[in-house]
Amino acid sequence: MNTTEPTPASTTDYDVIVIGGSYAGLSAALQLARARRHILVVDAGHRRNRFATSSHGFLTRDGQPAADIAAEGRANVAAYPNVAWHDGTATAARHDGGSDGHAFVVELDDARTVRGARLVLATGVRDDLPHIDGLAERWGKSVFHCPYCHGYELNEGRIGVLASGPLSVHQAQMLPHWGHVTFFTNGVCPLDDAQRADLQARGVQVDDTPVLRLVNVATVVLEDGRQEIMTGLFTYGRVHMSSPIAQLLGCAFDEGPLGPFIRTDESRQTTVPAVFAAGDAMRAASSVALSVADGAMAGVGAHRSLLFGVTPFAAPMMAVSASASSSHSGAR
């Protein structure tokens, strides 16, 4: 195994092209690299958590810089000589025949096209944050969306939930396990009597005064002139696919509470045969741990589909191994 920098992409055919080289894509790439497949990882380098300094909740890496976890993952994958890398964007992808009827052409931002027999889409999502003055620059620092990721560090202090729509009630209901919660409904989350009673029973204080802006660490400035000093804030944005590639390929989507995600089966195959997906792009609520798990499954799924042939969407994984065991030995 060589431990030098990753090999640059060439126009060679690849067994698998992994688009998105963060936690999910790297995890898929690692399985495929170790299966001695010839793979290309294409990564534009805009991880969703790049606004946060530390990442929490991923076993063995709890509290470490999110960038370090990704960099170490990349070094793990780059150590395999059968992995090529393109630091840039895959701008388009289309189906293009192939020896088994499944091959894809991927266009890169340096005007090259590359071919792969299988694709793994691990392109993640981007957050469209609520338009509150001062919120964007505090995102990942004192304004968060996931209490499992950043709730503990608020030390059971004052937590503000900034409503962005009806789903925000759910966030306000969850957060009392992490601190003393004030729910700022801000004119976008009208509450009925049952919801008010439920929140009150959970110890949540409801404040219907419009929010003007955020100042200092996490102070909420209200229209009536009050300034509520909070330890941290939570809000939901809408999520959107970071890349149009799944849509260009014709993958089906499901609508999650915060936005669409790519539909996959147990093997992480999308509804387009031979195209797999992992991470935030295919899960309504994800994390580093879940992205790594999905990526490992997508990598194994793509590899099995190279070994045993493409299966229809939602074919049981064991059926793949069972049908193969008659013609191959040593299959896991």
Interface positions with ligand FAD (CB under 6 A): 19-25, 42-49, 51-52, 55-58, 89-90, 122-124, 127, 139-140, 146, 149, 242-243, 245, 279-281, 286-289, 291
Report the candidate in 259, 282, 317, 311 with the shortest Cα–Cα distance to residue 25: 282
For the bound state, the minimum distance from the C-beta of residue 331 to ligand FAD, rounded and expressed in Å, comes to 28
For the bound state, the minimum distance from the C-beta of residue 88 to ligand FAD, rounded and expressed in Å, comes to 7
Q: What are φ and ψ of residue 234, in 5° steps?
A: -125, 145
Q: What is the CA radius of gyration of the chain?
A: 22
For the bound state, the minimum distance from the C-beta of residue 127 to ligand FAD, rounded and expressed in Å, comes to 6
Measured CA to CA, the distance from residue 41 to residue 74 in angstroms comes to 10
CB contact set of 97 (below 8 Å; sequence gap of 6+): 103
By C-beta, is 49 or 186 nearer to Mg ion? Answer: 49
Positions 47 through 86 that interact with Mg ion (CB under 5 A) = 49, 52, 55, 66
Positions 221 through 280 that interact with Mg ion (CB under 5 A) = none
Token digits of residue 310? 């493409």
CB closest to Mg ion, residue no: 52
CB closest to ligand FAD, residue no: 279
Measured CA to CA, the distance from residue 251 to residue 77 in angstroms comes to 27
For the bound state, the minimum distance from the C-beta of residue 242 to Mg ion, rounded and expressed in Å, comes to 17
**Residue 168, amino acid:** S
By C-beta, is 48 or 268 nearer to Mg ion? Answer: 48
By C-beta, is 159 or 245 nearer to Mg ion? Answer: 159
Q: Three-class SS of residue 41?
A: strand
Token digits of residue 106? 């991927």
In the complex, which residues of this chain contact Mg ion (CB under 5 A)?
49, 52, 55, 66
